[in-house]
Amino acid sequence: MSAFSRFADSLGRIWAMMIKETIQLTRDRVTLATMISIPVMQLILFGFAINTTPHHMPVGVLMQEESDVGRSILAGLQNTDFYDFKLVTRSEAEFDAAMRAGDILFGVEIPAGFERALRRGERPALLVAADATDPVATGTALGALDNVVKLALVRDRFTGAETATAPAFEIRQHRRYNPAGSSQLNIVPGLLGTILTMTLLIFTALSVTREIERGTMENLLAMPIRPTEIMLGKIAPYVVAGFFQAALILIAGLVVFRVPVVGSFGLLTFLTTLFIVTNLSIGYTFSTLARNQLQAVQMAMMFFLPSILLSGFMFPFSGMPYWAQWVGEILPLTHYVRIVRAIMLKGADLTDLAREGLALTALMLAAMTVAVKRFRVTLD
């Protein structure tokens, strides 16, 4: 046989292998969907949802007096798309609670006697407070907030700008919970949830598919055991593994990165347990949907990608478009990032975090329900 004939035969075998692999790929719908959806998802998330100069940031005003100055500042905040006006109050406790719970990220405090001191030329101080647990959003937004306040008062001729180069009042910035603007105080608590999400999803996503591929599922199904009992039995060991991972990350954060824990360790442990079980339930659901371990891992990664990008871990959540925020709200990591930052940096209590806890509970119950129903279908 000539060299040309051998080469032609080799090309024929390669061609046949290509056809076989193409047919197999088209039959594997999960892999094919992953190849198409991940590039599209990345394009949409990076192109539209991610914004490092966010707008529509929630802001509140603490008015300790009713005055023309206060009304001018309120009008200035309401007339800009940089902020969403959320709160006006005379109670300092309500103002602090709203910032601690994350309902507002910025606030303007108008002290009593401010307008009178302004008209007397005493150059009074106006306090601008910011939730600095997210330094990326805080930096540009504080500068913009200063400008909004100054322009509002200039239009109403409260600054004395017509006769003096210096403004007639002083703006004092207060970066709450992270005065130095350290990125480590922002990143390390978020990493706790991110690492747990990635590892726990993959661990449990492989649980059922591993049984099927190893041929041990038949033995399992022959036992007098219910689908709910199988699910809880498979999830329980990973809860312990999740605790071990969380403890390692938390200790490293305390010792290496000097991240404080201002709030309750007990509350952090309770809500971390809820977050772990929620992720394990979602991973177990993926394992009932996938036909093999490769598909299970692909599903887990498709869930993890939007989790890390739309949760507020890497980019300011409030700066994302509303449709991206709706997607982010159904991701457990979004709520846990808020929880862990609020407890560790703000000292938030269960009252402040009730909404996030209820959201995690709802997501956990929904995932468990789908997992049990899907497992019954698998049994049939």
Give the confidence band of 331 by pLDDT, cuts at 50, 70, 90. very high
What is the DSSP track for 175-216?
Answer: EES-TT--HHHHHHHHHHHHHHHHHHHHHHHTHHHHHHHHT-
Query: Three-class SS string for 104-155?
Result: CCEEEEECCCHHHHHHCCCCCEEEEEEECCCHHHHHHHHHHHHHHHHHHHHH
pLDDT score, position 150: 72
pLDDT score, position 167: 61
First-to-last CA distance in the chain?
55
Reduced to 3 states, what is the DSSP secondary structure of residue 24?
helix
Query: Is residue 103 pLDDT above 60, yes or no?
Result: yes
- For residue range 130-174, list pLDDT tens digits in order: 888 877 777 767 777 777 777 776 666 555 444 444 567 778 888
- For residue range 230-248, list pLDDT tens digits in order: 778 888 888 888 999 999 9
Query: Is residue 343 a contact partner of residue 260, using CB atoms and an 8 Å limit?
Result: no
pLDDT score, position 75: 80
Q: Please indicate whether residue 255 or residue 13 has the higher confidence score (pLDDT).
A: 255
Average pLDDT, stretch 346-372?
93
For each of the domains in the chain, give its residue range(s) and CATH number, in order of start.
Answer: 57-176 (3.40.1710.10), 183-379 (no CATH)
pLDDT score, position 118: 80
Instruction: Give the contacts of 364 (CB within 8 A, at least 6 positions apart).
Output: 274, 277, 278, 281
Give the confidence band of 217 by pLDDT, cuts at 50, 70, 90. low
pTM, two decimals, is: 0.82
- Residue 176: beta bridge partners? 131
Cα torsion 122, 127, 128, 133 to 10°: value is: 150
- Residue 108: beta bridge partners? 61, 128
Average pLDDT, stretch 250-268?
91
Tokens of 20: 């076989």
Average pLDDT, stretch 66-72?
80
Give the confidence band of 348 by pLDDT, cuts at 50, 70, 90. very high
Whole-number average pLDDT of the chain: 82
Sheet of 125-131, strand order: 83-89, 57-63, 106-110, 125-131, 170-176
CA distance 142 to 287: 46
pLDDT score, position 353: 94
